[in-house]
């Protein structure tokens, strides 16, 4: 069965380009298009897509408000939101995650990466672009009321799990980690899920923050310690 995608963007030309790309994949089909957030919410309720690709800056109702409304609707529990925007700022990343978005990527993303992002979101994973990851971490580290986490937490992880968490913290998807480590995406996902459970991380975004706060990844240079 194909993944059903709804496109929400106020630029018709971009929607057309995204539709061509997504429909070219054997396992993805575009079921509808929305020109603003209000239409996106209405069409999501009508069409029940697996993934909504949501722009942020749209007239009438913006993408973040639409995301919040969709994610708050229990009848739309099965729909995942992928934010696709030109503006990968820390404020937008934080707002999108609070609203319930499952992913945040920039419009400069490549074609294959875009298709992989849709598949990743549909599988239930959280996906953040490298730029969004950096914005999230910068914002978190600059907030004084976030509780500190200690390096000894990492003792709960196996060496392989530590390695996976460090790669997640650089913004890599499970597919990209699998290709780099010569593992199957299923194996990578299993390691990441176990690490999240051990570290009591609610989602992939929080796992990224833990990696930086514990020193597993260097916040200045962005590499594994």
* Range name among 53-57, 115-119, 215-219 with the lowest pLDDT average: 215-219
Mean pLDDT across 34-41: 97
pTM: 0.71
**Domain locations in the chain?**
3-129, 147-213
Report how far apart, in Å, the C-alpha atoms of 164 and of each of 2, 62, 70, 137 are. Answer: 29, 35, 31, 17
pLDDT of residue 221: 41
**What is the arithmetic mean of pLDDT over 202-218?**
76
Which is higher by pLDDT, 48 or 128? Answer: 48
CATH architecture for the domain at 3-129: 3-Layer(aba) Sandwich (3.40)
CATH 1.10.1200.30 at 147-213, yes or no: no
Give the mean model confidence (pLDDT) for residues 29-56. Answer: 97
Laid out side by side, the sheet with 28-34 consists of 28-34, 3-8, 51-54, 80-85, 103-106, 127-128
pLDDT of residue 141: 57
> What pLDDT shows up at residue 206?
73
């Amino acid at each position: 069965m194909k993944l059903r995608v709804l496109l929400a963007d106020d630029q018709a030309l971009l929607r057309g380009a995204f539709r061509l790309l997504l429909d070219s994949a054997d396992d993805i089909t575009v079921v509808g298009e929305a020109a603003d957030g209000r239409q996106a919410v209405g069409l999501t309720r009508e069409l029940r897509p697996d993934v909504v690709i949501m722009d942020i800056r749209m007239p009438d109702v913006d993408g973040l408000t639409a995301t919040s409304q969709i994610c708050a609707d229990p009848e739309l529990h099965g729909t995942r939101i992928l934010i696709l925007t030109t503006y990968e700022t820390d404020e937008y990343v934080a707002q999108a995650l609070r609203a319930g978005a499952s992913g945040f990527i920039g419009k400069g993303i490549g074609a294959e990466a875009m298709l992989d992002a849709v598949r990743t979101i549909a599988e239930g994973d959280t996906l953040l672009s490298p730029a969004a990851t950096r914005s999230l971490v910068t914002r978190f580290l600059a907030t004084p009321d976030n509780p500190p986490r200690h390096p000894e937490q990492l003792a709960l992880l196996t060496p392989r799990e530590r390695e996976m968490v460090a790669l997640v913290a650089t913004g890599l998807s499970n597919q990209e980690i699998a290709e780099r480590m010569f593992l199957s995406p299923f194996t990578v996902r299993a390691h990441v899920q176990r690490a999240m459970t051990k570290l009591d991380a609610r989602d992939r975004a929080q796992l990224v923050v833990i990696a930086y706060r514990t020193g597993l990844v260097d916040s200045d240079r962005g590499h594994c310690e």
